[in-house]
């Protein structure tokens, strides 16, 4: 995209949490002006928060497509064909279309859009709303390396932004998109364990949250593999190794791997549909 970033017109078809998180990140980058952002949704329910960011809002997907050069498709996967059918006559080779719909392949997106349009699949996750997300993008044949560099720059305030082949997108969905819920389940169980051992529930929940936050920051920032950090917590005959043994007997490692596999396969199934 050759225009100055300060003049880049950005659109969002869909106004859910992921669209809001990405929009907020784009604006935090400082490169995009809020009055160059337009958002559409069928109802007013989610639009006021975009207005609070300074963005323009509309009920017309076509209006957003016409007003934008960088266009995010942030609707449920089963709605993508309908939405792209609406906007396709108004999309040109000057557009870059970024889909955040789980399972919808680049081939499907390119088939539903005019020839030569740059298409990107982007999979964010829920912590993007706190600018602590993990995002993976994959480019279609019409989107060059410059598009990848631009998106990495604009989305950096959302969290970690990486690029890779499309085959990684569904696995990222299973590991990081769905993985957020897996972590919440573990946090809930951790707090329940504290309650069982006599800690009040509210306090146990706060301690569990802080434990996960601290462990995650160490894993991200210390530069050591999880296996090394885990070993550093263990002392011979201590409390941690006894607890880890109980987790291994419960099959937690295999269960988590199976959960990622199941979520990934579901994302692939959505793509085939």
pLDDT tens profile 122-139: 999 989 988 899 999 999
Q: How large is the average pLDDT for residues 111-121?
A: 94
Give percent helix, percent strand, percent coil of the chain, each to the nearest 5.
60, 15, 25
Say if residue 141 is in the same domain as residue 226: no
Say if residue 153 is in the same domain as residue 218: no
Say if residue 104 is in the same domain as residue 128: yes
Q: How large is the average pLDDT for residues 257-269?
A: 93
The CA distance from 66 to 117, in Å, is: 14
What per-residue confidence (pLDDT) applies to 41?
Answer: 95
Say if residue 195 is in the same domain as residue 150: no
Say if residue 62 is in the same domain as residue 186: no
Say if residue 145 is in the same domain as residue 184: no
Say if residue 202 is in the same domain as residue 256: yes
Residue 162 within a domain: yes
Does the annotation place 125 within a ligand binding site?
no
Q: How large is the average pLDDT for residues 212-236?
A: 96
Question: Which residue, of 134, 166, 198, is where some domain finishes?
Answer: 166
The CA distance from 159 to 177, in Å, is: 13
CB 258 within 8 A of CB 168: no
Q: Is the pLDDT of residue 177 over 70?
A: yes
Domain span at residue 190 reads 179-272
Residue 171 within a domain: no
Say if residue 162 is in the same domain as residue 230: no
Does the annotation place 77 within a ligand binding site?
yes
Q: Is the pLDDT of residue 225 over 90?
A: yes
Domain count, the chain: 2
pTM of the model: 0.89
Residue 139 within a domain: yes
Residue 172 within a domain: no
218 token code pair: 């160490």
Question: Which residue, of 116, 137, 166, is where some domain finishes?
Answer: 166
Question: Which residue, of 145, 166, 187, is where some domain finishes?
Answer: 166
CATH number, domain of 248, equals 1.10.3730.10
The CA distance from 148 to 5, in Å, is: 14
Question: Beta strand 118-123 with 133-139: parallel, antiparallel or unpaired?
Answer: antiparallel
Average pLDDT over the chain, rounded to an integer: 93
Does the annotation place 46 within a ligand binding site?
no
Say if residue 136 is in the same domain as residue 78: yes
């Amino acid at each position: 995209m050759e225009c100055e970033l300060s003049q880049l017109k950005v659109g969002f078809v869909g106004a859910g949490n992921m669209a809001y998180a990405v929009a907020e990140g784009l604006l935090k980058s400082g490169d995009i002006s809020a009055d160059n952002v337009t958002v559409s949704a069928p109802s007013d329910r989610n639009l006021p928060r975009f207005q609070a960011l300074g963005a323009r809002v509309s009920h017309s997907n076509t209006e957003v497509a016409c007003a934008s050069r960088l266009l995010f498709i942030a609707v449920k996967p089963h709605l993508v064909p309908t939405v792209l059918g609406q906007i396709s006559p108004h999309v040109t080779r000057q557009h870059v279309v970024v889909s955040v719909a789980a399972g919808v392949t680049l081939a499907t997106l390119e088939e539903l859009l005019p020839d030569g349009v740059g298409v990107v699949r982007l999979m964010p996750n829920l912590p993007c709303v706190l600018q602590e997300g993990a995002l993976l993008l994959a480019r279609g044949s019409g989107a060059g390396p410059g598009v990848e560099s631009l998106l990495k720059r604009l989305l950096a305030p959302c969290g970690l932004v990486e690029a890779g082949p499309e085959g990684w997108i569904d696995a990222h969905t299973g590991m990081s998109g769905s993985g957020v819920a897996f972590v919440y389940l573990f946090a809930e169980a951790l707090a329940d364990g504290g309650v069982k051992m006599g800690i009040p529930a509210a306090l146990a929940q706060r301690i569990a949250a802080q434990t996960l936050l601290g462990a995650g920051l160490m894993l991200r920032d210390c530069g050591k593999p999880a296996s090394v950090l885990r070993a550093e917590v263990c002392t011979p005959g201590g409390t941690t190794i006894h607890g880890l043994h109980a987790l291994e007997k419960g099959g937690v490692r295999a269960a988590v791997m199976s959960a990622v596999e199941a979520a990934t396969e579901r994302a692939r199934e959505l793509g085939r549909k």
